[in-house]
Amino acid sequence: MVRLNRSSAQWWLIAAILLSPLWLHAAESAAPYSGTTTVRTRYGFDTLISRLEKAIADHKMGLVAQASASRGAAARGVKIPGNAVLMVFRNDYAVRMLNASVPAGIEAPLRIYVNEESDGTASIIYRVPSAVFAPYRNKALDEMAKELDVVFQNIVRDAARR
């Protein structure tokens, strides 16, 4: 058995206290935020992206932007599993959001993340809008977010449908 003198024990305690936020962060980062939904599909990455783009348009939402680390890496000759973030919103929702809460503007556009699985299929990951806007504790935002919950659920359902 190792015996620590009082000074050593104090240093170990101080080190543990200082490092504990790192342990907490590691545990937090393994779990998604509340309201995060993952839908596995049978589609490959590029096919799923196309299906999402179509579903977004079919539900009269706007694809505001798209970012893909895998496509950027491929342009440099580096191969990583497919991933992309589709940023989705619509101006009438933006106006309603900002009328309800200017600080909530940072949440738009809402994101849909697509990642390629090891078996070649791709998954959709997104946070339901009601979870995204819940921290603002604003009735008008909550009402708008509930509408958007249905829109996003339908977009994902249509894109993932067989």
Q: Same structural domain for residues 91 and 145? A: yes
Domain that includes residue 38, residue range: 32-160
Written as one string, the DSSP assignment of 86-148 is EEEE-HHHHHHHHHH-SGGGGGPSEEEEEEE-TTS-EEEEEE-HHHHHGGG--HHHHHHHHHH
- Quote the tokens at residue 8: 């050593």
Q: Same structural domain for residues 114 and 50? A: yes
Q: Yes or no: say if 124 and 156 are a contact pair by the CB < 8 Å rule.
A: yes
Q: Same structural domain for residues 54 and 20? A: no
Q: Same structural domain for residues 23 and 47? A: no
Q: Same structural domain for residues 25 and 45? A: no
Q: Same structural domain for residues 10 and 81? A: no
Q: Yes or no: say if 122 and 82 are a contact pair by the CB < 8 Å rule.
A: yes
Q: Same structural domain for residues 27 and 52? A: no
Q: Yes or no: say if 37 and 127 are a contact pair by the CB < 8 Å rule.
A: yes
Q: Same structural domain for residues 14 and 63? A: no
The total of structural domains in the chain comes to: 2
Q: Same structural domain for residues 100 and 117? A: yes
> By CB neighbour count within 10 A (0-12 exposed, 13-18 middle, 19+ buried), where does 18 fall?
exposed
What percentage of the chain's residues is helix, strand, coil (to nearest 5)? Answer: 55, 20, 25
- Predicted pLDDT at 3: 55
Q: Same structural domain for residues 52 and 88? A: yes
pLDDT at 28 over 60: no
pTM, 2 dp: 0.80
- Predicted pLDDT at 16: 41
Q: Same structural domain for residues 11 and 49? A: no
Q: Which residue has the tokens 């200082």?
A: 18
Q: Same structural domain for residues 7 and 45? A: no
For 99-138, b/e burial (b = at least 16 CB within 10 A) is: ebeeebeebbbbbbbbbbeeeeebbbbbbbbbbbbeebeb
Q: What is the pLDDT of residues 96-155, one digit of tens each?
A: 999 999 999 999 999 999 999 999 999 999 999 999 999 999 999 999 999 999 999 999
The CATH number assigned to the domain holding 122 equals: 3.30.310.70
